[in-house]
Every structure is written in structure tokens, then in C-alpha cells.
């Protein structure tokens, strides 16, 4: 999450009144950053990953596992550990980047939305060296070890995306009754959220803006004994604490869907994110665009979320649930009522796949852009007057169609151009699958790009593998100037496809046929022919956009198409890049272990975590083929996940996901 400002947050009706004001100040702050940093050059190619954990607490005697709400205590223990602080780790000032000159600083820990969550990053960003890549997995293991050491003996930091029974009775410790004033959820208490005022205010104001609670509905998985039509048996239709209790009486919980009603069901999910620093803004914009079409592919490949609220779901990933959990659109914006008070119909939640491309790359054809993209034209005009080009101004004017949700009274007194609080307010509550991060004003940090779609994996080995793969493909993109452009609306379509159960083996995704430049017509006679001096060399005339891409399986995208002139595959592209870099044999060997995991996940040899978890549930003796994931199953599943985290398949458990790794 972003910076944790302190102050008095406005309730929604007051925040709404100052929304335009915050937006225009945010745009001025963005322009100040733009002026200062647009010409910044030669920044190092740094990168860093973020790992999110669920803190679980075992009750061995009763075969019960709950979520521990001790985030604040654990962070306090980390922040006061003198040894850890001396090693440069712990809980440092946000983003100062100060590692006290320590070469291998200890990891750092951050709060997250859920009071049962923890986030950890390396003590300093990774560098460009190949050797750094081999430090990632040990560092992730170090993080988990430190986290564990600052917990109680009954607790463990687990990397499942979601807690299988979140939203059921007796799943939290300490326990609180649901139906608090902020979330008004009938399933989870307000105490589920980080108590820092920003988080409950975010949840409350999203609900308030919408005019009802969020509706996080996931299709239930229909098994042999699942009653059909299925009615979520945990929904209470007779609650009368809040006006929002009417939601379910007004149809918020349709048949055959698992119904959830609070931000915690989405923002309480764990993911794996990678941030890159580019050498300059242009390179950052290229990385943003070229990684964008890879988002849905990596979402499908890392699928790990087959259970919600104690039921098997008919989808495999978390993405749309988070999207719905923070969807603040009003009935007018959703198209349910005629537009009267609101400005636009909005096709997407503020948590959604990317909606536009931002590079000034001549290969970016206008046909790849969404003709229906909604932008705030006044703010765009201001950005252009301020010197920003059309593509980037469009991107930010699109993010700024949203209202700021959490506004602190203290920040409204005067516009401070040495700060970025108003800009970050909008930027950090637009959760797309990539984020273009401008430098923090006044810092030495460069332009950064964040890759956000991946689901957290059970083991540090897998999390390292996916991080390293994304780093290497990014290097290959830059080194070979690869082109993955397809129309952005196809990327959004792919994002939906990625949700389908076992999409990695059962579905096809839109993908560009060739990542290489088209051969100019004058050179089609093959290498060696050159353009005669008296004839101007003309760039190839581009054909119809539809001819540039087709539907491919994840296996074809990752490992290559088995046909003449077919897509070469992301792993073979990474291999060519490594070949071109003369990586030493030992490093190359170590990297091969990681690439092998990706290759085999894509070709179906290894299972995704979603498939493994589903299979674990369906073969558990307590499973009655009725989609119910009981307490008993949950206990064994979480225990198994812990064991896999420690043994990484060496003892045979989880080998379908990991191989036997001998």
C-alpha cells in the first residue's frame, strides 16, 4: 500500500465535495515531478519484489487454524529488533532507500490492508547482475525466517493467496463479531482491517460512494453432490443492523455464487509484485507497454485461488474478486440508472486490467488503443499545457476520472509542490495490472514500472522463479527490442480468460504472432540484399491489425509454437538473451532450475497451485463432493502448505506442482 499519512480523514459526503480540488492539485504535483524528472537519464536498472503473507495461527489440539490479527504486534517486534535494525532491516522509513551502506541489508517489512497480512521486500533493490538473481530465493527464505521469528510459536507466515474459510465463524484470533460501522459486513468484523485510519476509511468511503456494500460474487464449483441451484448457506437474510443489510434482500447474493460483501475479501489476498527502475522515462514507458500483454498470461500461470469462504470456486485466480471488493462505482456509473449526477458510465472498477498504452514507440499503432477510453478532458488539457505529451497525459487523465476516496483535512490548506500526496492519492488507488511510478519528488529514484498480476506461490522457490522469469523477459524485451503489442481491449479479454478453471491448459489467449520487426518489403529477398542507393528505403506498410495476433495456448506463448515461423516462445527468447550475454556456466545452470519450473507449468507437466489445492480438497476424506471446504480440510490444507513451504517437494508432498527437484 502507499504512504501512510496521518490526519483527520473526511467522511464521504465531505470528501466528495473536495474531489475536484484534490484532483487538480494532484495534477499540479504530477506536473512538478514531470518537469523535474522527465529528462532524468542513466538510472541503474534496479528491481525489487514484494511478497505478501497470511499470518495463520494453529490450534493443534482442536485441529483448527485461524487467521491471526497480530500484524501490529509482529511489525512492532520487527521494528524494535536491534539486531535486525543494525543489519539495515526491520521496518524502516518508507522508501528512503537508506540501507546504511550495508552490502546485503536485512529484509524490510510493511503493513498491508488485512490485519492478518504482512508484506516483505528485500532490504535494498536488486541490481542488474546475474549473480543478484541467485540471491533472490535465499533472501525470500530469509524474509520468511525473520517473519516467523517475530511471531508466536503457534503462528506461521503462509503464502496462500487467500485464507480458505475467511468470512466464516470462528476464523480469526482474537475473534470479533461481524457487522461493524465501517465495513457493515455480515461476514467479517471491522477489526479485520489494519486499524490505521486510512484503511477503514477507504473501505467505508468506497461503500458510501457506491450507495451499498461491495458485491464480491464468485461462481461456486458444481460438484457431484452440490445442490443445484445452489444458495450460499452462510448468507443471513434477517439481519437489521445497518441499511446495507438490505443488500442481500435486494438480490446481492444470486444463486450459484459464493457471496462476499467487504473489501477484506479482495484486498486480503496476497500477491507477488515486481518493480523495475528504467534508465529513463522512455525506457520505462516501453517496459510498461511491452509487459502489459504478458499480465493475463502470468495471472493464469500463477493461478492459486480456488477457494472462497469455505467453498470451492469455479475460478482459479483472485483478480476479479479484488476488483469487485474495491469497486466504488455508483449505479449511474455502472449503467443501472440514467446518468444524472455522475459524469460517466464507467466500464471498469478502479482495480482492473490496464486500459491504455503509454509509450511514444512508433510501433504503437492507434488501432491498439481503446477508442472508448474515458479521460478527464480538462485535466488532460492541463497536462498538455504543462508540457506533457498526449500518450502520457491520456494515461494520467484516465486514472484521474476517479474520485479520491481518503482525503485528509490537513492536506487541503495549501498546494505543496514539494509533495506528491494528492497525486499519490489517485495514483495509488488506481490498481491496474501495471503501474507506472513517477520518481518520488526530491528523491534520486528514477521512473519505475510495476508488474502486478501474479498470484503469490506457496514456496519461496516458486516466487523466486516467477520473479526471475519476469526480470529476464524484461531484459530480453529491452535487449532485442521485442514487440508484444496487441489491442489493449484484447489484453482485458485475456484477463477474463485467465480466471477460467485451469485456463493454463484449457484456454487460448490473444497474443502477437511475431515479436520481431516486420521484414521491410525491399529486403524480402533475404539477408545480403540491400536497398539500391537511388531508391528510398520504405518502412513496411503495416497490414490489418487483426493479422498481427491470434489465439495461443499458454504453452505456445511460454515455450513456442511448434510450426515454421510460429511464435518463438518467451522461454526461448530468454534463453537467446542469456546466450547473448555469456553468462557463466554455473549461474546459467542455477537459472535453468527456475526457467524449468515456468516451462513445465506452462506445458502442463506441473500443476498450478490452484489445481493442486483443488485436488487436495477433492481427495480429502472429509470432503463430501458438495463444494464445502470444512474446518478439518482447511487445517490439513494449511498444514500441507506449510510443509511444502519448508520441504519444497523434496519429501514428495506437492511434487505435482514442483517436481521432485532432485
Contact footprint for Mg ion (CB under 5 A): 50, 119, 273
Stretch that binds ligand ADP, among 243-251, 275-283, 524-532, 551-559 (CB under 6 A): 275-283
Nearest alpha carbon to residue 333 among 256, 418, 402: 402
Shortest distance, position 347 Cβ to Mg ion, whole Å: 25
Shortest distance, position 121 Cβ to ligand ADP, whole Å: 4
The SS3 assignment for 620 reads coil
467 binds ligand ADP (CB under 6 A): no
Question: What CA–CA distance (Å, rounded) separates 320 from 257?
Answer: 14
| Binds ligand ADP (CB under 6 A): choice among 326, 445, 491, 638 | 445
| Burial degree of 15 (CB within 10 A; 0-12, 13-18, 19+) | buried
Nearest residue to ligand ADP, by Cβ distance, number only: 48
Report the partner that residue 201 touches, choosing among Mg ion, ligand ADP, none (CB closer than 5 to 8 A by kind).
none
Shortest distance, position 570 Cβ to ligand ADP, whole Å: 22
Q: Which helix (H) or strand (E) holds 437?
A: strand 434-437
The SS3 assignment for 274 reads strand
Site string for ligand ADP, 43-62 (x = CB under 6 A): ---xxxxx------------
The SS3 assignment for 587 reads helix
| Binds ligand ADP (CB under 6 A): choice among 448, 475, 501, 512 | 448
Shortest distance, position 113 Cβ to Mg ion, whole Å: 8
Residue closer to ligand ADP (CB basis): 428 or 593: 428
Considering only residues 241 to 270 of the shown chain, the ones binding ligand ADP according to CB under 6 A are: none
| Binds ligand ADP (CB under 6 A): choice among 88, 105, 122, 438 | 122
Residue closer to ligand ADP (CB basis): 110 or 196: 110
Q: Which helix (H) or strand (E) holds 52?
A: strand 47-59
Q: Which helix (H) or strand (E) holds 56?
A: strand 47-59
Shortest distance, position 278 Cβ to ligand ADP, whole Å: 9
Q: Which helix (H) or strand (E) holds 257?
A: strand 257-260
466 binds ligand ADP (CB under 6 A): no
Q: Can you list the positions of beta strands (E) in 114-191?
A: 117-121, 155-158, 172-173
Report the partner that residue 48 touches, choosing among Mg ion, ligand ADP, none (CB closer than 5 to 8 A by kind).
ligand ADP
Shortest distance, position 436 Cβ to Mg ion, whole Å: 13
Shortest distance, position 1 Cβ to Mg ion, whole Å: 5
Residue closer to Mg ion (CB basis): 119 or 636: 119
Question: What CA–CA distance (Å, rounded) separates 324 from 257?
Answer: 14
Q: How far is CA 503 from CA 316, 459, 552, in A?
A: 8, 21, 12
Nearest alpha carbon to residue 628 among 192, 311, 274: 311
Shortest distance, position 559 Cβ to Mg ion, whole Å: 29
Give yes or no for a contact between 549 and 486, defined as CB atoms under 8 angstroms apart. Answer: yes
Give yes or no for a contact between 158 and 645, defined as CB atoms under 8 angstroms apart. Answer: yes
Q: How far is CA 483 from CA 365, 480, 518, 549, 571, in A?
A: 12, 9, 10, 11, 15
Residue closer to ligand ADP (CB basis): 273 or 359: 273
Residues in the interface with ligand ADP (CB under 6 A) total: 19
Report the partner that residue 232 touches, choosing among ligand ADP, Mg ion, none (CB closer than 5 to 8 A by kind).
none
Shortest distance, position 162 Cβ to ligand ADP, whole Å: 19
Shortest distance, position 195 Cβ to Mg ion, whole Å: 17
Give yes or no for a contact between 194 and 115, defined as CB atoms under 8 angstroms apart. Answer: yes
Nearest alpha carbon to residue 439 among 423, 454, 453, 452: 423
Residue closer to ligand ADP (CB basis): 277 or 353: 277
Question: What CA–CA distance (Å, rounded) separates 465 from 292?
Answer: 19
356 binds ligand ADP (CB under 6 A): no
Q: How many CB atoms are located within 10 Å of the residue 496 CB?
A: 13
Residue closer to ligand ADP (CB basis): 50 or 455: 50
Residue closer to ligand ADP (CB basis): 122 or 404: 122
Question: What CA–CA distance (Å, rounded) separates 230 from 327?
Answer: 25
Residues contributing to the site for ligand ADP (CB under 6 A): 2, 46-50, 95, 97, 110, 121-122, 125, 273, 275-277, 445, 448, 450
Amino acid at each position: 500500500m502507499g504512504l501512510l499519512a496521518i490526519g483527520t480523514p473526511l467522511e464521504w459526503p465531505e470528501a466528495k465535495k473536495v474531489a475536484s480540488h484534490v484532483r487538480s492539485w494532484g495534477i499540479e504535483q504530477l506536473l512538478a515531478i514531470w518537469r523535474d524528472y522527465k529528462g532524468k537519464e542513466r538510472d541503474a536498472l534496479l528491481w525489487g519484489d514484494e511478497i505478501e503473507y497470511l499470518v495463520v495461527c494453529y490450534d493443534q489440539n482442536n485441529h483448527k487454524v485461524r487467521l491471526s490479527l497480530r500484524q501490529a504486534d509482529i511489525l512492532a517486534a520487527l521494528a524494535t529488533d536491534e539486531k535486525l535494525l543494525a543489519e539495515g532491516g526491520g521496518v524502516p522509513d518508507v522508501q528512503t532507500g537508506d540501507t546504511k551502506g550495508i552490502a546485503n541489508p536485512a529484509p524490510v517489512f510493511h503493513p498491508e490492508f488485512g490485519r492478518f497480512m504482512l508484506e516483505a521486500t528485500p532490504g535494498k533493490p536488486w541490481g542488474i547482475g546475474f549473480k543478484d538473481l541467485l540471491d533472490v530465493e535465499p533472501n525470500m527464505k530469509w524474509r520468511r525466517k525473520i517473519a516467523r521469528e517475530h511471531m508466536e510459536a503457534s503462528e506461521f507466515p503462509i503464502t496462500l493467496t487467500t485464507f480458505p474459510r475467511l468470512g466464516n465463524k470462528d476464523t480469526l484470533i482474537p475473534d470479533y463479531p461481524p457487522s461493524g460501522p465501517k465495513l457493515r459486513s455480515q461476514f467479517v468484523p471491522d477489526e479485520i482491517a489494519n486499524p490505521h485510519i486510512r484503511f477503514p476509511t477507504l473501505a467505508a468511503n468506497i461503500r458510501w460512494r457506491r450507495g451499498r456494500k461491495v458485491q464480491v460474487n464468485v461462481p461456486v464449483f458444481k460438484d457431484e453432490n452440490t445442490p443445484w441451484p445452489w444458495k450460499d448457506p452462510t448468507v443471513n437474510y434477517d439481519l437489521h443492523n445497518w441499511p446495507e443489510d438490505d443488500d442481500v434482500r435486494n438480490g446481492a447474493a444470486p444463486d450459484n455464487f459464493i457471496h462476499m460483501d467487504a473489501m477484506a475479501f479482495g484486498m486480503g489476498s496476497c500477491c507477488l509484485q515486481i518493480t523495475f527502475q528504467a534508465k529513463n522515462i522512455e525506457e520505462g514507458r516501453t517496459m510498461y507497454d511491452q509487459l502489459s500483454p504478458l499480465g493475463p498470461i502470468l495471472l493464469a500461470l500463477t493461478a492459486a485461488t480456488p477457494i472462497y469462504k469455505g467453498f470451492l470456486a469455479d475460478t482459479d485466480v483472485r483478480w476479479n474478486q479484488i476488483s469487485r471488493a474495491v469497486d466504488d462505482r455508483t449505479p449511474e456509473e455502472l449503467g443501472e440508472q440514467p446518468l444524472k449526477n455522475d459524469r460517466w458510465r464507467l466500464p471498469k472498477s478502479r482495480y482492473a486490467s490496464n486500459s491504455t498504452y503509454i509509450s511514444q514507440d512508433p510501433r504503437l499503432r492507434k488501432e491498439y488503443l481503446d477508442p472508448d477510453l474515458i479521460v478527464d478532458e480538462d485535466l488532460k488539457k492541463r497536462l498538455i499545457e504543462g508540457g506533457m505529451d498526449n500518450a502520457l497525459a491520456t494515461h494520467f487523465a484516465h486514472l484521474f476520472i476517479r474520485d479520491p476516496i481518503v482525503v485528509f483535512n490537513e492536506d487541503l490548506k495549501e498546494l505543496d509542490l514539494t509533495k506528491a500526496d494528492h497525486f499519490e492519492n489517485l495514483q495509488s488507488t488506481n490498481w491496474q495490472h501495471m503501474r507506472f511510478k513517477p520518481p518520488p519528488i526530491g528523491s534520486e529514484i528514477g521512473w519505475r514500472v510495476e508488474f502486478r498480476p501474479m498470484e503469490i506461490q506457496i514456496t519461496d522457490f516458486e516466487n523466486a522463479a516467477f520473479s526471475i522469469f519476469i526480470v529476464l523477459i524484461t531484459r530480453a524485451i529491452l535487449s532485442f527490442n521485442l514487440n508484444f503489442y496487441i489491442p489493449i481491449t484484447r489484453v482485458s479479454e485475456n484477463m477474463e480468460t485467465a480466471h477460467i478453471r485451469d485456463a493454463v491448459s484449457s484456454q487460448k489467449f490473444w497474443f502477437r504472432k511475431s515479436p520481431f520487426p516486420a521484414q521491410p518489403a525491399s529486403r524480402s529477398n533475404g539477408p545480403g540484399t540491400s536497398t539500391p542507393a537511388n531508391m528510398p528505403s520504405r518502412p513496411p506498410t503495416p497490414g490489418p491489425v487483426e493479422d498481427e495476433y491470434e489465439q495461443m495456448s499458454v504453452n505456445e506463448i511460454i515455450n513456442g509454437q511448434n510450426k515454421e515461423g510460429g511464435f518463438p516462445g518467451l522461454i526461448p527468447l530468454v534463453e537467446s538473451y542469456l546466450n547473448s550475454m555469456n553468462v557463466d556456466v554455473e549461474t546459467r545452470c542455477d537459472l535453468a532450475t527456475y526457467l524449468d519450473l515456468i516451462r513445465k507449468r506452462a506445458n502442463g507437466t506441473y500443476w498450478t497451485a490452484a489445481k493442486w489445492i483443488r485436488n487436495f480438497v477433492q481427495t480429502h476424506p472429509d470432503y463430501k463432493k458438495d463444494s464445502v471446504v470444512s474446518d478439518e480440510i482447511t487445517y490439513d490444507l494449511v498444514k500441507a502448505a506449510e510443509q511444502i513451504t519448508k520441504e519444497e517437494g523434496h519429501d514428495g508432498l506437492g511434487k505435482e506442482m514442483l517436481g521432485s527437484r532432485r
